[in-house]
């Protein structure tokens, strides 16, 4: 199955600058070559920044750059991925998921599942956000929260919160905790991962996707990873996924054969140390697309 790498250099979702460089850094670190070497046909595309006022100039009330964010969401949702291609959206901050997930959910009639790899639950609404950074809101938006009316364009399709697994949570604001329970999002926070390992919740989730014959979008926020191995992200939180936990997730995703789309969010190359975080992300994507130490029987179907 051919892969399309799509640059989405959005940084309007937060105040700190640098995510605009994410796609260039990932390309510099060899994202396309790694996939080509694994035998995939790779094409490239980019979604261009909408013409709006510079970031921060349209701060309205307590929200940072809501107009630029809305324009990005519209531009991403308007982009049609070529039929048959597996898209990898190269961010950009996590606001991009507000565009990408509805676009993926509207791509087929199969039920849409989302694996959310993040320290944060990103389920704020414009009413509950305390930071005003709209990268903290995509999950509420693409599950159909009504509070986005008049702020963001209506989503092309929404996702059933019960078909989302959040893995790696360790920074959830009080309003978000209530929203997660209310919506019925499936979660495995870092404590659960410490107690039982990262594989069991993921295995259960993948079985569900398989049984439902669903599409699976993976959203990888760089701060899912522990800051000691991935410092190049604006909102680091201690106690994240280790190197092996992260690779195991990717290896299990590969063996499942279920992933239909992917985004990489929040990489801030301005904060990186000689490309260290960027290279780790490229290695993780290689694992997701089949790089393995030893071959083992896959568990498909």
What is the rounded distance in angstroms from the CA atom of residue 42 to the CA atom of residue 20?
Answer: 22
Stretch in the footprint of ligand DIR (CB under 6 A) among 30-38, 72-80, 133-141, 248-256: 133-141
**What residues contact 202, with CB distance under 8 A and at least 6 apart?**
115, 165, 167, 188, 249, 252
What is the rounded distance in angstroms from the CA atom of residue 49 to the CA atom of residue 47?
Answer: 7
Q: Which of 286, 247, 230, 298 is nearest to 22 (CA)?
A: 230
Residue 58 contact partner, candidates Mn ion, ligand DIR, none, CB within 5 to 8 A by sort of partner: none
Q: How far is the CB of 8 from ligand DIR (least distance, A)?
A: 16
Binding mask 106-145 for Mn ion (x = CB under 5 A): --x-x-x-----xxx-x-----------------------
The answer to whether residue 128 forms part of the interface with ligand DIR (CB under 6 A) is: no
What is the rounded distance in angstroms from the CA atom of residue 239 to the CA atom of residue 60?
Answer: 34
The backbone torsions φ and ψ at residue 215, rounded to the nearest 5 degrees and listed phi first, read -90, 145
What is the rounded distance in angstroms from the CA atom of residue 223 to the CA atom of residue 122?
Answer: 12
Rule CB under 6 A: choose which of 173, 189, 208, 255 binds ligand DIR: 173
- Give the total of residues touching ligand DIR (CB under 6 A): 14
Residue 226 contact partner, candidates ligand DIR, Mn ion, none, CB within 5 to 8 A by sort of partner: none
Secondary structure E strands in 69-169? 86-91, 112-117, 164-169
Binding mask 54-83 for ligand DIR (x = CB under 6 A): ------------------------------
The answer to whether residue 129 forms part of the interface with ligand DIR (CB under 6 A) is: yes
Q: Are strands 42-46 and 86-91 parallel, antiparallel or unpaired?
A: unpaired
Q: Which positions are annotated as active-site residues?
A: 94, 118, 120, 122, 135, 221, 223, 266
Question: What is the footprint of ligand DIR within residues 214-273 (CB under 6 A)?
Answer: 221, 223, 235
Q: How far is the CB of 126 from ligand DIR (least distance, A)?
A: 11
Q: How far is the CB of 142 from Mn ion (least distance, A)?
A: 12
What strand order describes the sheet that includes 215-221? 42-46, 3-8, 86-91, 259-265, 215-221, 112-117, 164-169, 186-189
The answer to whether residue 118 forms part of the interface with ligand DIR (CB under 6 A) is: yes
- Planar angle of CA 100, 103, 104, nearest 5 degrees: 85
Binding mask 40-79 for Mn ion (x = CB under 5 A): ----------------------------------------
Stretch in the footprint of ligand DIR (CB under 6 A) among 21-29, 70-78, 106-114, 123-131: 123-131
What is the rounded distance in angstroms from the CA atom of residue 163 to the CA atom of residue 115?
Answer: 9
Can you give the binding site for ligand DIR, defined by CB under 6 A? 94, 118, 120, 122, 124, 129, 131, 133, 135-136, 173, 221, 223, 235
């Amino acid at each position: 199955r051919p892969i399309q790498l799509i640059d989405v250099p959005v940084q309007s979702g937060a105040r700190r600058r640098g995510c605009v460089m994410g796609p260039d850094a990932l390309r510099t670190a060899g994202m396309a070559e790694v996939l080509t070497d694994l035998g995939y046909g790779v094409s490239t595309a980019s979604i261009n920044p909408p013409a709006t006022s510079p970031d921060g100039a349209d701060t309205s009330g307590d929200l940072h750059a809501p107009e630029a964010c809305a324009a990005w969401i519209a531009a991403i949702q308007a982009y049609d991925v070529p039929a048959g291609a597996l898209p990898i959206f190269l961010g950009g901050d996590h606001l991009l998921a507000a565009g990408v997930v509805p676009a993926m959910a509207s791509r087929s009639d199969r039920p849409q599942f989302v694996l959310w790899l993040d320290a944060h639950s990103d389920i704020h609404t414009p009413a509950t956000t305390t930071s005003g950074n709209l990268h903290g809101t995509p999950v509420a938006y693409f599950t159909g929260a009504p509070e986005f009316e008049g702020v963001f364009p209506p989503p092309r399709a929404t996702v059933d919160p019960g078909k989302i697994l959040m893995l790696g949570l360790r920074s959830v604001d009080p309003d978000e905790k209530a929203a997660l329970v209310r919506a019925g999002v499936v979660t495995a926070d870092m404590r659960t991962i410490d107690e039982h390992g990262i594989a069991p919740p993921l295995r259960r989730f993948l079985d569900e996707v398989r049984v439902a014959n669903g599409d699976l979008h993976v959203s990888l926020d760089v701060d899912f990873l522990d800051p000691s191995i991935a410092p190049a992200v604006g909102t680091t939180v201690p106690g994240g996924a280790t190197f092996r936990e992260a690779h195991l997730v990717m290896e299990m995703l590969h063996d499942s054969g279920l992933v239909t789309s992917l985004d990489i969010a929040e990489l801030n190359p301005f904060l990186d140390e000689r490309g260290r975080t960027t290279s780790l992300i490229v290695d993780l994507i290689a694992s997701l697309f089949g790089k393995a130490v030893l071959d083992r029987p896959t568990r498909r179907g």
